[in-house]
């Protein structure tokens, strides 16, 4: 897989994790979003119910901006 600037990103060894808790927390494919920390700081995000589907790949800067926005409430619903 490659991202915008042509950087090749290998997802074959990715370890996908979910932020879920409770009884189903350790069951793959039962959560909406899974994240994997990839080579060179890239971060992969996928739909846990469709693990063979598409993956969003964020650069380290994009991921930092996204997580800062989450912490600041930028995506909270009114």
Residue 1: inside a domain, yes or no? no
Residue 32's nearest CA partner among 60, 57, 7, 51 is 51
Structure tokens at 12: 């074959």
> Could you tell me the sign of the dihedral formed by the alpha carbons of 36, 58, 67, 78, in that order?
negative
| Number of compact structural domains in the chain | 1
CA distance 76 to 15: 28
Residues of the domain holding 25: 17-71
Residue 3: inside a domain, yes or no? no
If the chain, 78 residues long, is cut into consecutive pieces of 10 residues, what is the mean pLDDT of each piece? 65 85 62 85 90 90 94 93
Residue 28: inside a domain, yes or no? yes
Residue 3's nearest CA partner among 67, 64, 52, 55 is 55
| Three-class DSSP category at 33 | strand
């Amino acid at each position: 897989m490659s991202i915008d600037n042509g950087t090749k990103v290998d997802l074959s060894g990715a370890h996908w994790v979910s932020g879920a808790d409770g009884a189903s927390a350790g069951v793959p494919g039962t959560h909406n979003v899974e994240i994997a920390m990839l080579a060179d700081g890239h971060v992969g995000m996928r739909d846990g119910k469709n693990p063979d589907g598409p993956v969003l790949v964020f650069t380290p800067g994009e991921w930092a901006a996204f997580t800062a926005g989450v912490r600041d409430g930028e995506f909270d619903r009114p």
